[in-house]
Amino acid sequence: MDKKITNILKRAKKIKMLLTDVDGVLTDATMNFFTNPNKEMLEVKKFCAYDGLACHMLRDAGIKSAIITGGNAPATEKRAASLGMDFLYYNYLSKGPAFKDILKKTGLKAEEVAYIGDDFIDMPVLLQAGLACAVKTSIPEVKKIAHYITKKEGGRGAFREVAELLLKAQGKWPKTIENAKNGNIGKSPKPTLQVVNYKQK
């Protein structure tokens, strides 16, 4: 087996939590805004259903998930809560402190956490994560430091691709398929989403 693939699988076997950026990873990086009747500007997010199901698959397998984003769209919080994610860190243009806080709260080691990013502000976490993943549409600088680059684009199943990589590397894929056949995907208890807003700290 190729040494690079062997290294990726070795890292993936240790992962107990998958962290992700939002814009450019869970979305295609397009930002849509509209003004409501009260003249408030709101942002609309377009998420991928395949990525959503992946969150349930991870939770069923005992793997936590969380978001660290520089944005603050309410839609992101609704989405994260509905998928049973564990943490959401808002307004973190500097993502290193959020990563450090997650490690402290969960008791996990950096090598037990994977992160998916696509742009400059993701680099501090990618450099620390046990498995650093870049989506296909990432900037070159991010791809250069990533252990794994997805075949899927951001907002089009990249998160799902990484989730499946983890499940397969850890030997949990057969159980996931069994859950699918029995209609049990997403049946595990959802945690209460813990939201941390940098601007309110």
> Can you give the pLDDT at residue 46?
87
On average, the pLDDT of the chain sits at 94
pLDDT digits (tens, 9 = 90+) for 60-78: 999 999 999 999 888 999 9
Residue with the two structure tokens 């994977």: 114
Query: Where are the chain's structural domains?
Result: 3-200
Backbone angles phi, psi at 27, to 5 degrees: -125, 175
Give the per-residue pLDDT at 92.
95
* Radius of gyration from C-alpha coordinates of the chain: 16
* Structure tokens, 54: 């992946």
Please provide the distance, in angstroms rounded to a whole number, between the alpha carbons at the two ends of the chain. Answer: 47
CA atoms within a 13 Å half-sphere pointing along the CA-CB vector of 48: 22
Does domain 3-200 match CATH 3.40.50.1000? Answer: yes
Per residue in 79-113, pLDDT (tens digit) is 999 999 999 999 999 999 999 999 999 999 999 99
**Which of the pair, 145 or 46, is modelled with greater confidence?**
145
Single pTM value for the model: 0.93
* Tokens matching residue 82: 């509905």
Per-residue model confidence (pLDDT) at position 1: 66
For residues 11 and 130, the answer to whether their CB atoms sit within 8 Å is yes
* pLDDT one-digit tens code per residue, 10-61: 999 999 999 999 999 999 987 777 777 887 777 778 899 999 999 999 999 9
Close Cβ partners of 66 (under 8 Å, ≥ 6 residues apart)? 17, 18, 19, 20, 85, 86, 87, 88, 89, 102
**Percent of residues in the chain assigned helix, strand, coil, to nearest 5:** 40, 20, 40
